[in-house]
Homo-oligomer: A and B are copies of this chain.
């Protein structure tokens, strides 16, 4: 079984109970939930039965141990998670607005998760991994960008592969040196997983079809284009495959894309056909939105099959 490694933030998430605007008033909250996009991804990969390590840092506080306990319990290798004795675990307060948008109060950059701790354990993890998954949202500083680029080089040098989910915040993309770094990242990407308009964020082409062609020409083996409620499509040199989204009652979309990616990549690495991988990934994303809490919707293959049956869809 190929071993996946991911570098990025582990967070505690606190959710507002009531829809509304932000956190300028006392209100009912629920948390802390284990969170952080890379952590959700890793948890889903582990539930798929694929070996996975996360490189991160948490504080030596309840929020850190809550996350470590959950990740360990679900099978994620947390030997690369540095426990920072000084800084607190990163946190995110999230409140949904009436229109589905979210307000946040973040503590990430100055938390444990904001600092790199490239210990010998981390170096050994990166050296022994078969696949690196890169999350744009975790490329929050030049050091994180540099570590991901170096890891991609090492792992590809060892015959491994790289997937890239470019969920980049706009302010990150315009930072100095970032466009160049992202161009290098694309040149090392085997599997590209943009959402919506991210498909053309890093291409010369602004039209979707041309962007796909350009990416495949630059060496990307396959593209999974996530389009939320509009489904997803898979593109490689052989052609295109489209998949409708599964219709579910949305409770909390946070983490759905990370679950989708974790499921797809775990299956893709073990040679599952694109159609089936796309179907289970879609189920994984759909199941995630039905659960409150960012990491509460991760699921095993059996749970995914059961879920697909429960909503009356065939899993083949």
Binding site for B on A (CB under 8 A): 12, 14, 22-33, 61-63, 65-66, 69, 86-89, 91, 93, 103, 105-107, 109-111, 293
Contact = CB atoms under 8 A, between A and B. Distances in A.
Nearest to A110: B110
Contacts of A69: 24
Contact of A110 (B14, B28, B66, B86): B86
A83 B91 CA distance: 20
Contacts of A26: 30-33, 293
A157 B109 CA distance: 41
A62 B22 CA distance: 7
A30 B29 contact: yes
7 contacts: A22-B62, A24-B62, A24-B65, A24-B69, A29-B30, A88-B107, A107-B107
Nearest to A95: B62
A62 B103 contact: yes
A106 to B, nearest CB: 7
A42 B103 CA distance: 30
Contacts of A29: 14, 28-31
Contacts of A63: 23, 105
A46 B69 CA distance: 45
Contacts of A111: 107, 110
